[in-house]
Amino acid sequence: MSLPCFNKSTQPMQIIAHRGASTQALENSLAAFEIALAQGVDGIEFDVHFVNGQALVLHDTNLKRTHQLDIPIQTLLPEQLIDYGILTLKDVLALINGQCVVNIELKSTDNLHALVNALQYLCKQGLINSNTVISSFDHELLDASQQALPQCQYGGLIAHLPQDLAQYAVSLDFDIVAIAADVVCEALIVDAHAKGKQVWVYTVDDPMQAQALARWQVDAIFTNETGLMLNQFHISGL
C-alpha cells in the first residue's frame, strides 16, 4: 500500500476516517474502526495520548465528553480500559493490519523517551511501517518521532494559514501539510505540491466544501461522514 499520490487524473481525493466512522459509532472505538474498514476508507486517523506507560487511543484527556464520566485518563486503571472500551495503539494497529493507511495523531505524552521506545517496538513488530503517517500539532513530538522512525510519513498539523504557505513542511521535513478546512486556500495547495508535499485537510463533512477541495487538488480529507464522502468521490471518481 502506498500513500495517496498527487496525480488527480488517476486517483480521486482520498477519504480518511476521522477517529474512525465517528458519525456511526463512538469516536476512536472498536466499532468506529470496524465500520470504517468495512466501508473501504483510504485511511483511518485516530488520537493517541501516552500516559503511565500506555499509548491510549483517545482524543480528550478526560472521559467526560465521550463516556459521560468525569475521569482523567491518567487515573484510568487497566480494568477500566476494558470496561469503557478504550483501545491501545497496538490494538488499533493490529485491527487495521495494513488494510488502509494509518494516521496516528500524537496528542500528548508524560514521557517522551518511553513514547519513542513504544513506537519503535511497534515498528519492530511490523505494526508501524513506511505506510504509517504520524501527525501532531506538537511539532517537537514529530521531531523526536522522525529521529527514531525515519521510515514513517509525517504530517505537521496546523490551524492557521502561514505567511510562507507550505514552507514550514519543507523546513521541518514533513511529508504532509495537514491544515484546517476553514483556513486552507488554493495558493497553499499549489505551493505545497510545487514543494513535493501533500495536503490533507481536516475536518470536512460538507459535500460542497469537499467538492471545492477536490477541484483544488487536495490529496486527502479527514471526515466524520465516511460513507457520504466515499459515495461522492470514489463512486463518482471526482
Retrieve residue 108's grid coordinates: 500528548
Provide the whole-model pTM.
0.95
Answer with the residue of higher pLDDT: 4 or 32: 32
Residue 222: per-residue pLDDT: 98
234 — pLDDT class (breaks 50, 70, 90) = confident
| 95 contacts 30 by C-beta, under 8 angstroms | yes
Concatenated DSSP letters for 37-102? HHHT-SEEEEEEEEETTEEE--SSSBSHHHHS---BGGG--HHHHHHTTPPBHHHHHHHHTTSSEE
pLDDT tens string 78-105 = 999 999 999 999 999 999 999 999 999 9
* Ordered domains of the chain (ranges, CATH): 14-235 (3.20.20.190)
Retrieve residue 141's grid coordinates: 513530538
Whole-number average pLDDT of the chain: 94
CA gap 25, 218 in Å, rounded: 27
pLDDT of 235 above 70: no
Mean pLDDT of 221-236: 91
